[in-house]
Homo-oligomer: A and B are copies of this chain.
């Protein structure tokens, strides 16, 4: 177990700050059209870990920024992440019925509405990133942070990774291809969250470089951990279905490298991720903690 610099309580407080901003930046569940807004709330407030917005906040603090500079960006990235989960869970994609411990959006609201919920969350994120949706006390998203996040969500990032994932079902991918797929599908948005947090604080080139390297290693480590948990985890603990990669005939790190080698690689990458932050000193301890928390679920 790595040393913790941030208490569980502090992480819980940050998570609560994120929830509050998400609620402020989403139309109320009762506003017209109510069923759509209700379904958006269902998808967004399902008790996710909020890793990406917490990374935005921690990276902003690591560059001596204030939370008000990063919270709108943090909310936008969580909306982008949630939209991708809602669409990824659809029958035409991964066909999943359990997510964050509850029935997936399309199971409760129907497929058509789930498609619209994803579209609407992405559109709302774009409104926040372009500065046209805001709430009291928050700074606008800096253009560089907006560009990073939207770029990471696009065809060379997250959506591109999902397209590769879709195309590779049933194929035996070489390890290099699998890493490339996951760098896009999962890694791009995690990497962009850290960098965008740094931009929110007006971080220097060397600070941004450190955050970028931390994010690249964390993104891959996170996906390896996710693959491991799909094999070893329990649905009740994870809040989502397990064993689905194997059922879908997907290539995974444990399938290609074995469980033990996958664990070792995840630990190495987590160390690399934390070590990349050396130039930021102790100000980056909350980022180091998030790296540890995100990657130690396999130990």
A residues apposed to B, CB below 8 Å:
27, 32-33, 35-37, 40, 83, 87, 90, 92-93, 110-116, 118-120, 122-124, 126-127, 129-132, 143, 146-147, 150-151, 153-156, 159-160, 162-164, 166-167
Contact = CB atoms under 8 A, between A and B. Distances in A.
Contacts of A163: 33, 35-36, 113, 116
A123 B122 contact: yes
Contacts of A114: 92
A116 B159 contact: yes
Contacts of A36: 155, 159-160, 163
Contacts of A113: 163, 166
A154 B128 CA distance: 12
A93 B122 contact: no
B119 A118 contact: yes
Contact of A115 (B33, B35, B90, B129): B90
Contacts of A87: 115-116, 119
A155 B110 CA distance: 17
A150 B132 contact: yes
A153 B123 contact: yes
Contact of A93 (B35, B115, B143, B147): B115
Contacts of A92: 90, 110-112, 114-115
Contact of A154 (B124, B131, B156, B160): B124
